[in-house]
């Protein structure tokens, strides 16, 4: 008899599963999601933008860059700078960064939430139960006052099954919304990776920039200290006035004052790099990476505008939210229609354990329920209108994200062009200022010019040295920013899906 009961339970479950599959083939009310059309803009910037960008100078970073429209970007785009220390640092940061671990946990949470709801919403709910109770009843309970009180046991065991049929697609729309949430978290994870790698490249370049600026100012400080000694000796000999000595000392103090803020910025930048690497500042082991060891990428792949919307993680995240909003309209629409729930139970009930699974102890029941909303005070219609408004808002947010992405790429392309010109001009100014400072020093040594003329030349040289270091760093950062604006090339990775960080458990 136990076998017969088991077969009966399996039959009931099979019937409900078969009915549920048939119901899944029914229509799903609400809009069927359609991906937004890709942009049809032919270029990112107005006509006439150059395809070759050059900064004619012997300074590092002055190489010509050629834009290859339609070419694809490698997923490890930072390797185009050809720096092994940089590559190793980024690999370690991708493994240890807490922000990525947080994004990975959010992705896993969304995946498990989808799995949980798929099991609870899509399939019948089956519960087994075993129970027992001890009761005492008087004769009055049976309408007989002359029967003495009786004590007895009640034992039961059974299985219950219930299922709400998805006739109008509410369940399918809910699962569609949850899948869209998984897609959103996947692209948030990719965006976190892209932001992290872009920030690291920029911070490493800034580290080199601060070092170059400090070294340039230290060189000027050395010159000014030597000049101050000469002026002081001439003052002792009566060849110059005390004003000349004070001017030289003031210029030296001003140069020294410029170094401390740069040292602070450099220290703060290194602390930031430590955070990116998932370490405390005292634990950072940053190999020496300067711009002289980085190679400016000369062949720049630029994705077509029509491809950008299918590649940038922030655009794909906005699209996932749009998809989720579309599914929620379907859920709100399905709530306006009837819901059919079918349930059943099969089991045994007996007064003794020996009789529990006997044929006479078999009990069963079937239930059916149809619920049709009749009056909710307009709540269901208002909820549907709210879902439609949310979809319209998500659509507007998606369009804005696409426009901002186009602006990011356009900004980066123009920055490459104009910062190349800036580097060329600053490099020329640096050469002229250096030559002027050397000439002024020689003339001052023989008494041909005043100390004020020497100070002016040294000040111009100092400013030019700092400016050329900044312009050189900007050109490297502009290139990295362009790669970041194009989406980072994650889709070209061997396994395109994100690799969530393993759980701590």
Q: What is the pLDDT of residue 292?
A: 55
Q: What is the mean pLDDT of each run of 10 residues along the chain (505 residues)?
A: 45 46 61 86 76 76 88 92 89 93 96 90 81 70 63 76 85 93 96 96 91 90 86 85 88 92 93 91 68 82 90 96 96 90 81 76 82 85 94 96 94 91 90 89 81 83 89 93 94 58 43
Helix (H) or strand (E) holding 103: helix 98-122
Task: Give SS3 for 350.
Answer: strand
In a domain, 91, yes or no: yes
Q: What is the pLDDT of residue 25?
A: 47
In a domain, 140, yes or no: no
What is the rounded distance in angstroms from the CA atom of residue 37 to the CA atom of residue 451?
68
How many domains does the chain divide into?
A: 1
What is the rounded distance in angstroms from the CA atom of residue 171 to the CA atom of residue 179?
12
In a domain, 102, yes or no: yes
In a domain, 133, yes or no: no
Phi, psi of 353 (to 5 degrees): -65, -35
Q: What is the pLDDT of residue 141?
A: 58
What is the rounded distance in angstroms from the CA atom of residue 232 to the CA atom of residue 238?
10
Containing structural domain, residue 100: 2-61+70-122+153-492
In a domain, 134, yes or no: no
In a domain, 500, yes or no: no
What is the rounded distance in angstroms from the CA atom of residue 278 to the CA atom of residue 273?
9
Q: Cα 337–340–344 angle (5° rounding)? A: 170
In a domain, 503, yes or no: no
Length of the chain: 505
**CATH code of the domain containing 281:** 1.20.1600.10
Q: What is the pLDDT of residue 135?
A: 75
In a domain, 36, yes or no: yes
Distances 461 to 6, 245, 434 between C-alpha atoms, Å: 93, 20, 6
């Amino acid at each position: 008899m136990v076998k017969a009961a088991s077969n009966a339970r399996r039959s009931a479950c099979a019937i409900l599963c078969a009915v549920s599959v048939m119901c899944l083939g029914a229509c799903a009310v609400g809009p069927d999601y359609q991906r937004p059309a890709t942009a049809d803009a032919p270029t990112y910037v107005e006509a006439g933008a150059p395809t070759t960008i050059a900064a004619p100078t012997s300074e590092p970073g002055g190489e010509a860059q050629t834009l290859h429209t339609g070419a694809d970007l490698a997923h490890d785009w930072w390797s185009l700078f050809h720096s092994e220390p940089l590559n190793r640092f980024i690999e370690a940061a991708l493994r240890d960064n807490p922000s990525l671990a947080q994004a990975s946990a959010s992705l896993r949470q969304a995946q498990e939430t989808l799995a949980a709801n798929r099991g609870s919403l899509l399939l019948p709910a089956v519960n087994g139960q075993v129970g027992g109770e001890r009761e005492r009843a008087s004769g009055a309970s049976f309408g007989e006052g002359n029967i003495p009180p009786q004590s007895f046991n009640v034992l039961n065991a059974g299985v219950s099954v219930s299922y709400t049929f998805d006739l109008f697609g509410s369940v399918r729309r809910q699962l569609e919304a949850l899948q869209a949430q998984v897609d959103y978290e996947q692209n948030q994870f990719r965006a976190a990776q892209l932001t992290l790698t872009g920030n690291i490249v920029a911070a490493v370049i800034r580290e080199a920039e601060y070092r170059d600026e400090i070294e340039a100012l230290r060189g000027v400080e050395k010159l000014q200290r030597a000049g101050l000694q000469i002026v002081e000796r001439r003052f002792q000999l009566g060849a110059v006035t005390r004003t000349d000595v004070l001017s030289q000392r003031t210029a030296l103090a001003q140069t020294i004052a410029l170094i401390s803020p740069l040292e602070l910025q450099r220290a703060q930048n290194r602390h930031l790099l430590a955070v990116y690497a998932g370490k405390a500042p005292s634990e950072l082991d940053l190999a020496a990476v300067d711009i002289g060891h980085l190679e400016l990428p000369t062949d720049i792949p630029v994705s077509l505008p029509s491809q950008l919307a299918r590649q940038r993680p922030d655009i794909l995240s906005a699209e996932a939210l749009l998809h989720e909003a579309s599914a929620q309209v379907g859920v709100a629409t399905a709530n306006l229609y009837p819901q059919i729930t079918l349930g059943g139970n099969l089991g045994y009930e007996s007064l003794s354990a020996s009789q529990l699974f006997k044929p006479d102890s078999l009990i069963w029941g079937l239930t059916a329920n149809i619920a049709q909303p009749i009056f909710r005070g307009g709540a269901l219609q208002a909820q549907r209108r709210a879902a439609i408004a949310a979809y319209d808002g998500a659509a507007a947010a998606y369009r804005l994200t696409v426009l901002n992405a186009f602006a990011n790429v356009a900004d980066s392309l123009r920055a490459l062009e104009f910062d190349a010109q800036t580097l060329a001009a600053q490099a020329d100014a640096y050469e002229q200022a250096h030559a002027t400072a050397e000439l002024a020093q020689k003339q001052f040594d023989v008494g041909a010019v005043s100390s004020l003329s020497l100070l002016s030349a040294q000040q111009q040289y100092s400013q030019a040295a700092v400016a050329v270091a900044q312009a050189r760093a900007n050109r490297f950062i502009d290139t990295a920013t362009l790669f970041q604006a194009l989406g980072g090339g994650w889709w070209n990775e061997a396994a395109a899906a994100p690799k969530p960080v393993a759980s701590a458990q």
